[in-house]
């Protein structure tokens, strides 16, 4: 909750996780959207995000 980042991602999922919610992130990186998964999305369950914004 409440994360600010200037790098490559706000949250990077690299292992199977379940029932996670990421909320209120501000991203200033060079990509248009912050990448989130470094594994197959089929390996995670009930992972959600809310209020992630790209700021200039």
Q: What is the Cα–Cα distance from 8 to 32, expressed in whole angstroms?
A: 10
Spell out the alpha helix ranges (H) of the chain: none
pLDDT at 29 over 90: no
Taking the CB of residue 18, how many other CB atoms lie within 10 A of it?
Answer: 9
Q: Indicate the pLDDT class of residue 43, thresholds 50, 70 and 90.
A: very high
Give the mean pLDDT of 32-49.
86
Mean pLDDT in the chain?
86
User: Taking the domains of the chain in order of start, what are their residue ranges?
Assistant: 3-54
**Average pLDDT for 4-16:** 83
Mean pLDDT, residues 25-31 taken together: 83
Q: From 45, 49, 47, 43, select the one nearest 15 (Cα to Cα).
A: 43
| Residue found under tokens 């990509």 | 31
């Amino acid at each position: 909750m409440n994360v600010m980042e200037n790098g490559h991602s706000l949250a990077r999922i690299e292992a199977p996780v379940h029932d996670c919610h990421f909320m209120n992130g501000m991203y200033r990186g060079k990509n248009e959207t912050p990448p989130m998964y470094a594994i197959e999305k089929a390996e995670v369950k009930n992972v959600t995000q809310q209020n992630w914004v790209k700021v200039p």
